[in-house]
Amino acid sequence: MATKFELIENIMLPPGFRAAGISAGIKKGGKKDLAIIASDRAAAVAACFTTNQVRSATVVLDAARVKSGKGRAIVVNSGNANACTGAQGMKDAKRMAAITAKNIGVPEAEVFVASTGPIGVSMPMDLLEKGIPEAAAKLSANGGGDAADSIMTTDTRPKRLTAKFTIDGKSVTLSAMAKGAGMIHPNMATMLCFVCTDAAVEPRALQAALKNSVIQSFNRISVDGDQSTNDTVLVLANGAAENKVLKPGHKQWSVFTAVLDAVLLTLAKKIARDGEGAKKLITVCVKNARSCKEADAAARAVANSMLVKTCWHGDYPNWGRIMDAIGYSPAKIDETKVDIFYDDTIAVRRGISAGTPVDKLSAIQSKEEFAITIDLHLGRANAEVFTCDISEDYVKINVDYVRDMTGRGPT
């Protein structure tokens, strides 16, 4: 039986959660740049982080704290990554948590910290010393929208979602906000995502569910092939719905995981769609590879190819670049067996042109969303990756990134 739930394109914080977003002065122009999300009661916590060997102080701190399985609040700043800032960066991350804990009355060890923005810039702690108490004073059950706005950097739009569903006859809410537009590459991306739910979930089960969801969502998007120092996905589950504690074996465990999967996948696609300078969202699907690993490798080669992505930005369907990308991928291919489809229209049959009129393929590629399906005809394994086109605007955005974000050059 299909899981029934409603997805709402907005943030409706679950009972027991409050949030706020303010301008602390980190970003220029008075843009919101500081958020707090807090639970009024003890919550289970789970997290996934970047696999980059260079990690923000916030990632190092949170990775240690999440082992307790307990969390009460998240404090987030945009406009500064607090990465490659040495020992002082860790002191600053801990100080952000301590100020938050003091102002909302929770244990410091249960406060998580996230940062996003330019790398290698010292944290403006004078601004945060004033801003965090201000944000704490503004915490509200209706503050999710302001918090979602505050975590953005080069995003052109906020990414937020709420799901409503039922567990044990109890009404349950799961809401999430995310940011991400550039330095996006599987495992994970330059992205932050914060999920709140009033479901009661066993911490180890929550961690397992989140890890599986991230593999299917945030680990399957690519904008530019770069990988960040700060990627963080955090989930707080406070149990205010008073359902029986969810974990494998609960008759509705699959309902909770299906909702989590759907929310994170939808947000992941929003990130890919909002790629810096991007105009199109493209799903790359590889079918009938010898193994899942090879299907995944071929899909990622196409999704990450700058030649392919610049081609997609135009309207001429140069499928030869797709053939080239799968050819240099680690996947085994036999070019005489490869079929390529633009949506449902075949462009390549058995490795050569299928004779489809160029205008027909161009019309598909000119859409804001389309799919490229590559059938290798070598096995039964499939994989999908979500990506976007690349335009000259991507270069312009990133050339002046630090100055555009803060009004200052690197220090």
DSSP assignment of 198-267: -S-B-HHHHHHHHHHHHHHTGGGEESSS---S--EEEEEE--TT-PPPB-BTBTTHHHHHHHHHHHHHHH
Strands 345-349 and 352-353, by their bridges, are: antiparallel
The residues annotated as belonging to the active site are 190
Q: Which of 164, 177, 182, 163 is nearest to 36 (CA)?
A: 177
Please count the other Cβ atoms lying within 10 Å of the Cβ belonging to residue 339.
18
The answer to whether the CB of 335 falls within 8 A of the CB of 327 is yes
Mean pLDDT for 276-301 is 90
203-216 helix and 253-273 helix, angle to the nearest 10 degrees: 40
Question: 281-390 has which CATH code?
Answer: 3.10.20.340
pTM here is 0.84
310 vs 23 pLDDT, higher one: 23
Question: 6-273 has which CATH code?
Answer: 3.60.70.12
The answer to whether the CB of 188 falls within 8 A of the CB of 271 is no
357-409 pLDDT per residue, tens: 999 999 999 998 999 999 999 999 999 999 887 765 555 555 554 455 555 54
36 forms bridges with which residues in the sheet?
20, 75
Q: Which amino acid is at 384?
A: E
pLDDT at 195: 98
Q: What share of the chain is helix, strand, coil (3-state, %, to 5)?
A: 35, 30, 35
Query: Token pair 């995310």 is at which residue?
Result: 178
321-360 pLDDT per residue, tens: 999 999 999 999 999 999 999 999 999 999 999 999 999 9
**What is the rounded distance in angstroms from the CA atom of residue 327 to the CA atom of residue 321?**
10
Domain coordinates in residue numbering, the chain = 6-273, 281-390
